[in-house]
Structure 1
């Protein structure tokens, strides 16, 4: 039996419930369902976690390396979280620390050759999983959804600017 999500829980709300709230709950439910399945598959197939995968992805995009602070900002987590993840990935030989070329007090992380190979395996599987989960949508539906979500993102950003946030 599927767990009850916020959108389903509100399915019988009285008329007049705001469409915007219902839309937000639909977006949140989709995100949560996909994320939970990706987390489950990463654990089952690679004995890893989504935060570890995300850290490797950040380093894959920046072959010269990133400081712990840069990684924490990009992942939107605390430096402490990144420090612990990085230490474990370093112990496994997936990342290496280097003294920063711009600030000798700072260290940067980058993928090792082994880390690149492992991330390539994980990211190929991840791409396939996402494709599988969205396979119920036609090409034109995916294009329309992508376009509408782009407009949604712009609307949210505009609302944040107007609100002074």
Structure 2
């Protein structure tokens, strides 16, 4: 019995086998792809917002894309912790992401509604990672995702409140 346990340990990364983390890594790669596309849209909104809400939204879109930039790094590094490499081409991200690029210019309210739509998609993607982490007993990924969700839910509330003006 002791030999079996020792043999199993050689196949583990930080206490998890590759099989145990496979679902987490798949979900993390999808989350990463969603954040990459979301980041690009936020940069586009930041550069192109016009009108009476320019100063406020220009600043808030910058706050969001800076946060998305940090979150993509955290997600990619979490994938690396499991001994794998995150997806890294734009084509891979666009193919995996549920968040889609925009083809049309939007007015400020349309931009905020698009951000809110992306927040809902990100929230669903975060839940997928959370469920995979819970199934594997991965408390670190669970904590990371919970922190992301806490912030996302607050920002969703704030952008929703703004869009009612």
TM over 0.5: no
Larger radius of gyration: 1
User: 1 or 2 for the larger relative contact order (CA 8 Å, sep ≥6)?
Assistant: 2
Superposition TM-score tier, normalisation by shorter sequence = 0.3 to 0.5
